[in-house]
Structure formats: C-alpha cells, structure tokens
Amino acid sequence: MTQRPSHRPERVAEAIRQTVAEFLTGNVRDPRVGFVTVTAVEVSGDLGHARVRVSVMGSEEEKAKSLEGLMSAARFLRAQVAKELPLRTTPELHFELDRGLEHAQRIDQVLRKLKEGAG
C-alpha cells in the first residue's frame, strides 16, 4: 500500500503566506521594510522551516534594506504565526527575494523594443 502524499505542508505554507502578508500590510514598524509582497512560501516536510519569498519594489539598496528589516523581524513574525495557526511547532521563517516579477518585466521590455525595431 502506497502512502498518500500529504498536502499539509502546502496548507501550512499558504496559511503562513496569508498571515505574514496580512501582518506586513498593517503592523510593521520597521522603516526599512518598504513595499513588500509575499509571493510564495515553501515549508520543509518536517514543518521546521519556511522559506518566505518576497517581491520588493524599489532600488537594489531599498530591496536589501527591506530584506534586512524582514530578517530582523523574523522571530517576531514567527511569534505572530504561532498565535494565528494551531501548529505544534511553528516553522522558522527565512526570507529571500523573489525576482520572478522583475525578470518578467525585463523580458517584456526587451520584447517591446524588438517589436518596435522590427516594425
């Protein structure tokens, strides 16, 4: 008998994404954290760690500062997640920049320029 794959890590990841996103919308007091969007959360199989991917608007310097601010708020955010979600252990939060949106915009610009040049 094969074991059915558990969807729990995915459900936990989505719940963490919503909780962190809501918190970042209203409660962050760190001036370093600018306009941040939580794009995805990946949770390890043992639910011990959560990789929180964020998209940040602004210059490279602003992005670095926002990431710094998020990392310093990670323990506090983890405590908020612990309050919100009924988990035995709350995953440790690790923040990283998601550059997918930037890449998509850059590709779009290149394609537009190519189109204009060909026309």
Q: Which domains does the chain possess? A: 8-118 (3.30.300.20)
| Residue 16: partners with Cβ closer than 8 Å, 6 or more residues away | 41, 43, 50, 52, 81, 85, 91, 93
The pTM is what? 0.77
| Tokens 């909780």, residue located | 19
Predicted confidence (pLDDT) per residue in 66-81, tens digit: 999 999 999 999 999 9
Which ranges in the chain belong to alpha helices (H)?
Answer: 8-26, 60-84, 100-118
> Which one, of 89, 90, 77, 71, lies nearest residue 26 by Cα?
77
Predicted confidence (pLDDT) per residue in 11-22, tens digit: 999 999 999 998
Integer Cα distance of 95 and 113 in angstroms:
34
Residues recorded for the chain: 119
